[in-house]
């Protein structure tokens, strides 16, 4: 990687910043999305995809007891819920997402796990369903929280997560994050762009990077850690980090 690669990443980020989507546009995009095939081909745009998911599952399984209850925030079509239900034979998963094509596809994705999951439609950033306090052993979110429109929205979601966890419960998130300064964000994006070029055309790699930052409002890991502390989590850690992607967690 060279300084010209970092400069290119800065240009891509500037292009995205000049045409950011509103939260309404983000919701409209996912409302129109066919969720039946979401998740296919993700190894071509997420580095260490399998390794990160294995780490995610190992962490969850350590905190989910027999007949444990898991909340999947921004669950989409149930792709991640399916991995958990396959790995943990007695847990129950509640999936929350917008009432769109993604969530509508979840029953088909999870058809072999009838009775072990339920669906709950709602926008976790503005009108999240009321969750019973201290009712879940763990909460997971994968590639969803980065849609939060403001820092205040992140904080409110973290406070809601804390409230619905049982004492000792785990929150774990796998998503993309900013660097701790603009130059570090550009460095991480340059690394990701290099990975994308290994499996996609130059135009495709350009479009993936720009659309990601048009759609999402990621925060730096430092900000996530501080917000989790503010939400009263007693322990917070970063479990995985590569380029723009990270897994971070909090324990109630």
- The predicted pLDDT at position 18 comes to 95
Q: Determine how many CB atoms are found less than 10 A away from the CB of residue 5.
A: 16
Q: How confident is the prediction for the chain on average, in pLDDT?
A: 92
Q: Report how far Cα 9 is from the mean position of its chain's Cα atoms.
A: 22
Q: Please, what are the domains in the chain? A: 33-183+216-251 (3.40.50.150)
If one counts every other C-beta atom within 10 angstroms of the C-beta of residue 250, the result is 26
Closest by CA position to 138, among listed 190, 208, 63, 227: 63
Over residues 124-165, the pLDDT tens digits come to 887 556 688 899 999 999 999 999 999 999 999 999 999 999
What confidence score (pLDDT) does residue 46 get? 94
How far is the first Cα of the chain from the last one, in angstroms, to the nearest whole number?
Answer: 40
Provide the residue count of the chain: 252
pLDDT tens track for 23-36: 788 777 777 777 66
Q: What is the pLDDT of residues 2-12, one digit of tens each?
A: 899 999 999 99
Q: What is the pLDDT of residues 35-63, one digit of tens each?
A: 666 767 788 889 999 999 999 999 999 99
């Amino acid at each position: 990687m060279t300084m010209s690669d970092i400069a290119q990443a800065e240009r891509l980020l500037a292009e995205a910043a000049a045409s950011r989507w509103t939260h309404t546009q983000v919701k409209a995009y996912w409302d129109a999305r066919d969720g039946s095939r979401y998740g296919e081909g993700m190894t071509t745009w997420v580095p260490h995809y399998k390794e990160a998911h294995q780490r995610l599952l190992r962490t969850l399984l350590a905190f989910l007891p027999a007949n444990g209850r898991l909340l999947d925030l921004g669950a989409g079509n149930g792709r991640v819920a399916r991995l958990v239900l396959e790995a943990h034979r007695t847990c129950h998963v509640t999936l929350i997402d917008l009432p769109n094509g993604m969530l509508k596809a979840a029953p088909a994705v999870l058809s072999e796990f009838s009775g072990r999951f339920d669906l709950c439609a709602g926008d976790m950033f503005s009108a999240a369903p009321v969750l019973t306090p201290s009712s879940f052993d763990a909460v997971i979110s994968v590639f969803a929280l980065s849609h939060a429109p403001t820092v205040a929205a992140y904080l409110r979601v973290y406070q809601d997560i804390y409230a619905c966890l049982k004492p000792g419960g785990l929150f774990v998130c796998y998503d993309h994050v900013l660097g701790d300064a603009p130059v570090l964000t550009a460095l991480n994006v340059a690394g990701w762009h290099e990975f994308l070029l290994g499996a996609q055309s130059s135009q495709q790699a350009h479009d993936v990077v720009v659309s990601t930052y048009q759609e999402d409002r990621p925060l730096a890991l430092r900000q996530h850690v501080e917000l989790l502390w503010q939400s009263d989590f007693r322990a917070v850690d970063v479990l995985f980090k590569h380029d723009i992607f990270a897994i971070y967690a909090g324990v109630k």
